[in-house]
Amino acid sequence: MTSSDSGDREKVVSKLPPTLQQDLKVRAAQHGTDIQHAVEAGIEAWRKLGSNLPAADTTGAKAFATFLPSGQWDAFRTDCAARGVSLIQGLTQSVQVWLETNPAPAIVRPEHPKRIVACNQKGGVGKTAIAAGTGEALAEDREQLHPVRISKHFAAALTGTAEQPASPLDYEDLPGLGLRVLLVDFDPQCHLTKQLGHMPLPIDGDSLTKHMAGEAKGDIADLIVPIEDPRFGDRLNLLPACTDAFLLDVKLSGVRAREAALERALAAVESDYDVIIIDCPPSLGLSMDAAAYYGRRRTDEAPGNSGILIVVQAEDSSADAYDLLTSQIEDLRGDMHLELEYLGIVVNHYDARRGYIATSSLQSWMDIKDPRVVGVIGDLKEQKEAVRMKQPLLAYSPRCDQSVGMRALAREIS
């Protein structure tokens, strides 16, 4: 064990079991505090105990360093000697005391599930990838740390060129959000269903379309399947699509209060989830009306909790599609007196090496301001590989730049 002065704190080098080091790192991040302050508080609490704790298992203890207030380590060393325990044993007990008195914060379950409607009437912009990646990031394990992009000026850093590459961004390891998420494949092409390794629902069976059209054959909960991976636990689920969704607009034309058809269909399972993400088809028909209506702000719901997430690319045709989509949303707002909010714009498949068109288009999206850009996701190989492997991106390549960006996006709109 050694120590060296560093201002009003001194560096202390000791040992702790590796599992305890990881638990300390995660719990400190969950509480938004530094490890050094957690250890400081744990030592002070341990020193005030009136009797010794049962011996802790320190098998496999590895090097651990932190900074403590000047003089605390010497006083702690004296207390350990007086109590007849080693420094490693005393430090281990101190960290355990802090962990026990600072349990993981409970997740606050919302009164209304957050409803994210990922859309754009232009195909090929990557709505499915954004819907899936956002859901995965929201559901990641709270007891593990995951790299998250923390730059507040991500777009500025991404506007480099081939001659002047983009600057590297800052990252931070943060606990997962641990939310219960339902991904709804609302697209008859079934891309989300297939990308996550599931089969579309059989056309002669039950489906979301049938529930929306009043032709349900059973409970909608029976159609939901889990996305199985340890990092998501049992928190990430999928409502698969069925090709009968190609007929949805026709069926909705004969349904009473058709704009509320999606809400009626999902009402039975809403209480099981914190977040519901709708992966919309590239369409401006009645199905899009139903999806947009589902994302409206409900009575007593907080502003910005639910709404429209527009996925675009840094090129000109996305701008044309954006105008069509926002016109439809404005018509819905006016005709039905909806409080329908934008959660933001996500610029997907971005690559500054494509030159002026990409960089100038990104700047044009940034200039809109309302809705604002809430995420820029690079055009990299990992997403394509994950699709080929039929795996969630954040499970296939959890530390790639796209995964890091998805986590930042999830936190930006959560």
Looking at 60, 77, 101, the residue that finishes a domain is 101
We report the CATH number of the domain holding residue 182 as 3.40.50.300
pLDDT reading at 3 higher than 80 = no
pLDDT for the residue 150: 66
pLDDT for the residue 81: 96
Of 190-204, 329-343, 399-413, the one with minimum mean pLDDT is 329-343
Same domain, 198 and 310: yes
The residue with greater pLDDT, 324 or 200, is 200
Looking at 101, 125, 157, the residue that finishes a domain is 101
pTM of the model: 0.86
The whole domain housing 362 covers 114-413
Same domain, 311 and 393: yes
What is the pLDDT confidence band of residue 380, given thresholds at 50, 70 and 90? confident
Query: Residue 153: is it exposed, middle or buried by C-beta count within 10 angstroms (0-12/13-18/19+)?
Result: exposed
The residue with greater pLDDT, 20 or 369, is 20
Answer yes or no: is 106 within a domain: no
pLDDT reading at 164 higher than 50 = no
Mode of pairing for the β-strands spanning 225-226 and 181-185 = unpaired
Distances (CA, A) of 13 to 63, 68, 74, 87, 136: 7, 10, 13, 11, 37
List pLDDT tens digits, range 223-249.
999 999 999 999 999 999 999 988 898
What is the pLDDT confidence band of residue 7, given thresholds at 50, 70 and 90? low
Answer yes or no: is 407 within a domain: yes
Query: Residue 165: is it exposed, middle or buried by C-beta count within 10 angstroms (0-12/13-18/19+)?
Result: exposed
Find the mean pLDDT for residues 381-398.
95
Same domain, 135 and 25: no
Looking at 101, 123, 158, the residue that finishes a domain is 101
Same domain, 162 and 72: no
The residue with greater pLDDT, 289 or 316, is 289
Same domain, 89 and 126: no
Total domains in the chain come to 2
Query: Residue 192: is it exposed, middle or buried by C-beta count within 10 angstroms (0-12/13-18/19+)?
Result: buried
What is the pLDDT confidence band of residue 124, given thresholds at 50, 70 and 90? confident
